Structures are given as C-alpha cells and as structure tokens.
C-alpha cells in the first residue's frame, strides 16, 4: 500500500458565492472523502486558502516575493488530500470522484508520496 497525494487545481473559491453553493460544495467534498474513508483509505487533507498567499521566487535579481501563486494560469492550488492506494490506478479512480473536476479546466494531480524505503 502506497500513499498518494491528490492535488486540486482550480479557480479562486471566492467565485463560489452563495451559501447554497457553499453547502453543495461542502456536501460533495464530504461525500467524496466519505467514500474513500469508508474503504479505510483516507489519510488526511486540507484546503489551501487563496487569501494572503505569497510566492518567493528566485530571480537573477535575487529573491522576489509576490502576492499569490497566481501567475498567468487561471487555476491554482486550492487544496489536497492524501489517500492510501494499492496502485496509482486506484488513486486515479479516487481522484476522478473529486467535485473539483466539475469545473472545466480544473484538475487533480495524483502524486506518489516518497515512502523513504528506497522502493519508490
């Protein structure tokens, strides 16, 4: 069993305006995590607030701090969950259920977490 991190990339959640939409989003996310947890394969997760986000960047003029990770790309990192899976395919199946993917252009990146046992 390996641990995988599922990284959500989507637009700023401020677009989700009404309490009803928030409720829907929360319900879908909890349902999704619930199905993974039911198989005892949910490890942890968190959202990453867009506000007060900074980027420290190395340039030829030295380190530059900018607001937000938001360069030219529309979608940015909005959160992640860590799951346990027997294979990357299984982790991908988990990722497919994420409500993040309801927005066209959004993505969930699946990455294996280095286990430190030299096998990965």
Partner 1 sequence: MASIKQDTAQLVPHLFRTEFRKITTYLCCQYGLEYLGEAEDIASESFLAALETWPYKGIPPNPAAWLYRVAKNKAMNRLEQKASRRKIEAQLPAADGEDISYAEEEGDQLRMLFAICHPALSQETQVTMALRIMAGFGLDEISSALLIGKETIQKRLYRGRETLKERGIVLEMPTGAALQERLEMVLLTIYLMFTEGYYSETKEELIREDLCFEAMRLAYLLTELPQTNSPKVRALLALFCFQASRFAARRNKNGEWLLYDQQDASLWDQQLIAKGVEWLHKASVGEELSFYHLEAAIAYWYSRPEDSPEKWEAIVGLYEQLIVLKPSPVVALNRIFAVYKLRGAKEAINLADRLALTDNPYYYMLVGELHSELDKPYALECFRKAHQLVHTDADRRFVEKRLQEMGG
Residues near partner 1, by CB under 8 A: 13-14, 16-20, 22-23, 25-27, 29-30, 33, 44-49, 51, 78-79, 81
Q: Helices marked H in 1-120 — which ranges?
A: 19-38, 88-96
CB 46 within 8 A of CB 82: no
**Which of 33/92 has CB closer to partner 1?**
33
Whole-angstrom CA distances from 45 to 22, 51, 67, 118 are: 18, 19, 24, 25
Q: Report the nearest approach of partner 1 to the CB of residue 115 (Å).
A: 22
Nearer to partner 1, 43 or 92 (CB): 43
In the complex, least distance from residue 44 CB atom to partner 1, rounded to whole angstroms:
7
Least CB distance to partner 1 at residue 42 (A): 9
What is the Cα–Cα distance from 22 to 3, expressed in whole angstroms?
A: 29
């Amino acid at each position: 069993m390996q641990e995988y991190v599922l990284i959500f990339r989507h637009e700023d959640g401020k677009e989700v305006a009404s309490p009803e939409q928030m409720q829907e989003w929360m319900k879908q996310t909890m349902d999704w995590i619930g199905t993974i947890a039911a198989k005892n394969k949910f490890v942890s997760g968190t959202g990453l607030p867009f506000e007060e986000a900074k980027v420290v960047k190395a340039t030829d003029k030295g380190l530059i701090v900018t607001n937000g990770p938001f360069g030219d790309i529309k979608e940015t990192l909005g959160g992640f969950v860590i799951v346990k899976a027997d294979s990357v395919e299984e982790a991908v199946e988990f990722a497919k259920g994420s409500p993040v993917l309801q927005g066209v252009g959004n993505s969930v990146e699946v990455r294996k977490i280095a286990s430190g046992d030299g096998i990965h």
